[in-house]
A and B are shown apart, each in its own frame.
Chain A
Amino acid sequence: MTDKDRPHLNYGIITNLIEENSTVLDLGCGDGELLLRLMREKNVKGRGVDIEERMIMLCISKGISVFQGNLDEGLKDYGSKSYDYVILNQTLQVTHKPILVLNEMLRVGKRAIISFPNFGHYKLILQLLFRGRMPVTKDLPYQWYNTPNIHLCTRNDFIELCRENNIKIIREIDIREGKIISGFLPNLRATEVIFILEKESV
């Protein structure tokens, strides 16, 4: 995912979730803007991981410590509970092995913060229903044949996955076009969801 495609709208929301002076590992950190904001506003000690050479160069040029690597290889060389937070922002849907990545995040981080586009949003459903076409929206701007998003899911799918894997949901934040919403039918109304997760080490 390129930096242009990456919705920066949720950076403020994620920044608010993190305590001052925390240690943060940002997986799929892109151009490093979220980390930069966390470093400036919350004095976090952060580092990023991304697969793209161009993104790594952008991060280094901002003075951010980064590692060029593939999330699907897991985080085996990272110590257990070695970060306060591991963030996966708008990246879960492009990983090949989302469950591996999720479990690794929860091993390495005391908590995980994960955000993804909610495929259950009513506009997507209506596009499919009335046009009979794969949905294309502002948040999911790709055609079926060129999308990097190979593992899309709905809010409800994700909650079910957490239940099956004994992952504890500490907090859920439903977002519509960059703003937090509350109330009924989040699976239909949220364009994006953020979860704070925890898992006891086995």
Chain B
Amino acid sequence: MGLNGRDNHNDNTLAATGNALPEEVPPGKGSEKGLESEKKTVKKYEETFPKEASVGLVVPQDFTFAYPPNELVLESGKKLGPINLRYETYGELNSDKSNAILILHAFSGDAHAAGYHSESDKTPGWWDHMIGPGKAFDTKRYFVICSNVIGGCQGSTGPSSINPDTGKPYGLSFPVVTIGDMVKAQFHLVRHLGISSLYSVAGGSMGGMQALEWSVRYPEMVRSAIILASTARLTAQGIAFDAVGRNAIMSDANWQGGDYYGKSIPARGLSIARMVGHITYLSDLSMGMKFGRRLQTRENYGFDFTNEFEVESYLQHQGDKFVERFDANSYLYITKAMDYFDLGEPYGSLANAFARARAKYLVVSFSTDWLYPPYQSKEMVFSMMKSGRDVSYIQLNSPYGHDSFLLEKSRQTKIIRAFLESIND
């Protein structure tokens, strides 16, 4: 499930004075422990990479394909077309088109991974601290592509798009898409850009699922894959949380069977879904550090049911903010895609799936991530090894739970940069 980055990034930058990067920001007032080391690593990072290192202004682009009668055939057997993919690119494609890296976004992310959309844009793309000149995905060396997934609501075709047959938004008539379908759509974009071999595919959480899918579905096209805080299939616990989110949306009276476009949106349901989701992205430790049991405004208990605790109003804020930028139906479709994802299933086993792959893998898990727990990453890595794949696995100690992959900058930068350098051309 994953988050987009942007929420977290925003919050942290808001909480800090000045243009702070996530790791510089204490997760809360009462959070002394564990932060000293973070500060030190940040200092080092800042010396190496000045803050102004950015891809600068970027212009989102669109690629439309799968026009009837050549629609994309989905895993469900249904057809979808035409399909638009919103995407951004950073850096330059080299002459032999061998330096392209595809970044795959997490659950509520989008194509805007780095840089700014305008001079007055205050917030950079969701992974700006990892993508740019001299950064982990160094745009001086690599041509970086990021596209919004199908089923989404940030420019790519999804349930809120207009169905050309009816002239109205698809709503629930939009076919259920899978992680495999998202990847098939990206394949068309990559080929459209004239690229037949990707230097790397990389993503965290649902982005990691897509990167895994890429490496197995198009083995001859993927030279390396970076899988952060991800899994080859969700746990029952992960599916359960998705189900709660979907239930919250579908039980909102405004949801209207998904047909709410142009009317009142199921804001309450979507907000609750996000609140639940957000809890799963944090950890006991990070919530304790960030909020503890502090009250938001009062000195003493009010003996009523207002948002009293800091953590309550934080979640409310997260929910409200999310409603402004995300479509409730997309929440349903994308969580469903994650729930269905099972990399090994079509091939009989995970080991069989990895036996097809040719990529060199880097797998990173985070100690406090209970949504995509380290043991799952470990199992996946053993499966890769059994199939003879070249893989490195590291579990980073981090207090930030599943969110870590969006917040841990310096160590991920070191690892990813070195890993990318170790890929033989």
Chain A contacts to B: CB under 8 angstroms:
53, 56-57, 59-69, 77-79
Residues in B neighbouring A65, C-beta threshold 8 A: 360, 390-392
Given contacts A65-B390, A68-B395, A78-B385, contact A57 B419 (CB under 8 A): no
Is B392's CB under 8 angstroms from A66's CB? yes
B268 on interface, CB distance cutoff 8 Å = no
B382 at the interface (CB under 8 A from A): yes
Indicate whether B415 reaches chain A with its CB closer than 8 angstroms. yes
Contact of A63 among B391, B396, B422 (CB under 8 A): B422
* A63, B415: Cα distance in complex, Å: 10
Chain B residues in the interface with A (C-beta under 8 A): 360, 362, 378, 381-382, 385-386, 390-397, 411, 414-415, 418-419, 421-422
Is A68 a contact of B386 with CB atoms below 8 Å?
A: no
| A162–B225 alpha-carbon span in the complex (Å) | 42
Q: Which residues of B contact A64 (CB under 8 A)?
A: 392
Chain A residue contacts of B396, Cβ below 8 A: 53
Add 10 more A-B contacts to A53-B396, A60-B392, A79-B386 (CB < 8 A).
Answer: A53-B397, A57-B394, A57-B411, A60-B418, A61-B414, A63-B418, A66-B392, A67-B385, A68-B393, A69-B393
User: Which residues of the other chain, B, contact A77 by a CB distance below 8 angstroms?
Assistant: 382, 385-386
A68: which B residues are within 8 A, CB to CB?
Answer: 393-395
Minimum distance in angstroms from B148 CB to a CB of chain A:
30
Residue of A nearest to B418 (CB): A61
Question: Which among B362, B382, B385, B397 is the interface contact of A60 at CB below 8 angstroms?
Answer: B362
Question: How distant is the Cα of A53 from the Cα of B392 in the complex, in angstroms?
Answer: 12
* CB of A68 to closest CB in B, whole Å: 5
Q: Note all chain B residues with C-beta closer than 8 A to A67.
A: 381, 385, 391-393
List residues of chain B with CB within 8 A of the CB of A63.
418, 421-422
30 residue pairs A–B, Cβ–Cβ below 8 Å: A53-B395, A53-B396, A53-B397, A56-B393, A56-B394, A57-B394, A57-B411, A57-B414, A59-B392, A60-B394, A60-B415, A60-B419, A60-B422, A61-B414, A61-B415, A61-B418, A62-B418, A63-B418, A63-B421, A63-B422, A65-B390, A65-B391, A66-B393, A67-B381, A67-B385, A67-B393, A68-B395, A69-B393, A77-B385, A77-B386
Measured CB to CB, the closest approach of chain B to A86, in angstroms, equals 14
CB-nearest residue of chain B to A63: B422
**Cβ contacts under 8 Å, B422 to chain A:** 60, 63
CA distance A64 to B390 in the complex (A): 10
Are A69 and B378 in contact, CB atoms less than 8 angstroms apart? yes
Residue of A nearest to B381 (CB): A67
In the bound complex, how far is the Cα of B386 from the Cα of A20, in angstroms? 23
CA distance A66 to B391 in the complex (A): 7
Give the CA-CA distance A79 to B394 in the complex, in Å: 21
Expressed in whole angstroms, the minimum distance between the Cβ of B242 and any Cβ of chain A is: 29
Bound Cα distance A179, B133 (Å): 48
Question: Which residues of chain A come closer than 8 Å to B386, judged between CB atoms?
Answer: 77, 79
* CB of B195, distance to nearest CB on chain A (Å): 24
B151 to chain A, nearest CB (A): 34
Interface centre among B382, B390, B393 (most CB of A within 10 A): B393
A56 to B394, CA, bound (A): 7
Query: Which residues of A sit under 8 angstroms from B421, Cβ to Cβ?
Result: 63
In the complex, chain A residues whose CB is within 8 Å of the CB of B415: 57, 60-61
Q: A57, A63, A65 — which one has the most chain B CB atoms within 10 A of its CB?
A: A65
**Residues of chain A with a CB closer than 8 A to B414's CB:** 57, 61
Query: Cα distance A67–B365 when bound, in Å?
Result: 12
Give the docked Cα–Cα distance between A79 and B386 (Å): 7
Cα separation A66 to B396 with both chains bound (whole Å): 14
Q: Which residues of B contact A78 (CB under 8 A)?
A: 385
Q: Which one of B360, B392, B414, B419 has the highest number of Cβ atoms from chain A below 10 Å of its Cβ?
A: B392
Known: A63-B422, A78-B385. A53 touches B378 (CB 8 A): no
**B349: min CB distance to chain A, Å:** 14
List of A residues within 8 angstroms of B360 by Cβ: 65
Q: Which residue of B lies closest to A50 (CB)?
A: B394
Name the distance in Å between A36's Cβ and chain B's nearest Cβ: 12
In whole angstroms, what is the CA distance A77 to B421 when docked? 28
Top-7 shortest CB links A-B = A63-B422, A77-B382, A61-B418, A56-B394, A67-B393, A65-B392, A68-B394
